[in-house]
Structure 1
Amino acid sequence: MALRPPRDAGPGEVRIVGGVWKRSKLPVPHSPGLRPTPDRVRETLFNWLGQDLSGWRVLDAFAGSGALGFEAASRGAARIVLLERDAQLAAALRGHLKRLDKDGTVPMTIENADALAWMRREAAGSFDLVFLDPPFAQDLFLAALTAAAPLLAENGLIYLESPGPVAVPEALGLSAWKEGRAGAVHYRLLRRGG
Structure 2
Amino acid sequence: MSKVKKHSDKSAPKGQIRIISGQYRGRKLPVLMADGLRPTTDRVKETVFNWLMPYIQDTNCLDCFAGSGGLGFEAMSRGASYVTLVELNKPAAQQLKDNKALLQADSIQVVQQNALDFLKNNQQNYSLVFIDPPFRKGLAQQTAELLSEKGLTDDALIYVEMEADHNEQTMPSHWQLLKEKVAGQVIYRLYQNSVV
Smaller-chain TM-score range? 0.7 to 0.9
Q: Work out whether residues 127 and 156 of structure 2, in 8 Å CA contact, stay in contact via their aligned partners in 1.
A: yes
Q: Work out whether residues 19 and 51 of structure 1, in 8 Å CA contact, stay in contact via their aligned partners in 2.
A: no
Per-residue deviation, 1:169: 4.7
For 2:75 and 2:183, how far apart are their aligned partners in 1? 21
Amino acid corresponding to residue 170 of structure 2 in structure 1: V
For 1:97 and 1:159, how far apart are their aligned partners in 2? 22
Q: Which residue matches 2:139?
A: 140
Amino acid corresponding to residue 31 of structure 1 in structure 2: A
Consecutive unaligned residues in structure 2, runs of 5 or more: 1-12
Q: Which residue matches 1:163?
A: 163
Q: Work out whether residues 60 and 80 of structure 2, in 8 Å CA contact, stay in contact via their aligned partners in 1.
A: yes
For 1:74 and 1:83, how far apart are their aligned partners in 2? 18
For 1:170 and 1:82, how far apart are their aligned partners in 2? 23
Q: Which residue matches 2:9?
A: none
For 2:85 and 2:171, how far apart are their aligned partners in 1? 26
Q: Work out whether residues 140 and 169 of structure 2, in 8 Å CA contact, stay in contact via their aligned partners in 1.
A: no
Question: CA-to-partner distance for each residue in 1:68-101, whole Å, 9 max, x for gaps?
Answer: 0000110121111000001100100000010111
Q: 1:32 aligns with which of 24, 35, 52?
A: 35
Consecutive aligned runs of 4 or more in structure 1 exceeding 2 Å deviation: 51-54, 164-171
Q: Work out whether residues 145 and 172 of structure 2, in 8 Å CA contact, stay in contact via their aligned partners in 1.
A: no
Per-residue deviation, 1:174: 0.8
For 2:155 and 2:54, how far apart are their aligned partners in 1? 18
CA RMSD for the aligned pairs? 1.9
Counting matched residue pairs gives: 181
Change (3 A) 1:32 1:169: closer
For 1:31 and 1:189, how far apart are their aligned partners in 2? 27
The answer to whether structure 1 residue 67 and structure 2 residue 66 are counterparts is no
Question: What is the TM-score normalised by the length of structure 2?
Answer: 0.86
Q: Work out whether residues 180 and 186 of structure 1, in 8 Å CA contact, stay in contact via their aligned partners in 2.
A: yes
Consecutive unaligned residues in structure 1, runs of 5 or more: 1-9
Q: Which residue matches 1:174?
A: 175
The answer to whether structure 1 residue 193 and structure 2 residue 188 are counterparts is no
For 2:153 and 2:55, how far apart are their aligned partners in 1? 18
Q: Which residue matches 2:109?
A: 109
Question: CA-to-partner distance for each residue in 1:12-57, whole Å, 9 max, x for gaps?
Answer: 1111111111111121212111000000111001100106733100
For 2:68 and 2:46, how far apart are their aligned partners in 1? 16
Change (3 A) 1:51 1:14: farther
Q: Which residue matches 1:50?
A: 53
The 10-residue stretch of structure 1 (44-53 or 10-19) with the greater mean CA deviation from structure 2 = 44-53
Amino acid corresponding to residue 22 of structure 1 in structure 2: R
For 2:171 and 2:103, how far apart are their aligned partners in 1? 39
For 2:175 and 2:54, how far apart are their aligned partners in 1? 23
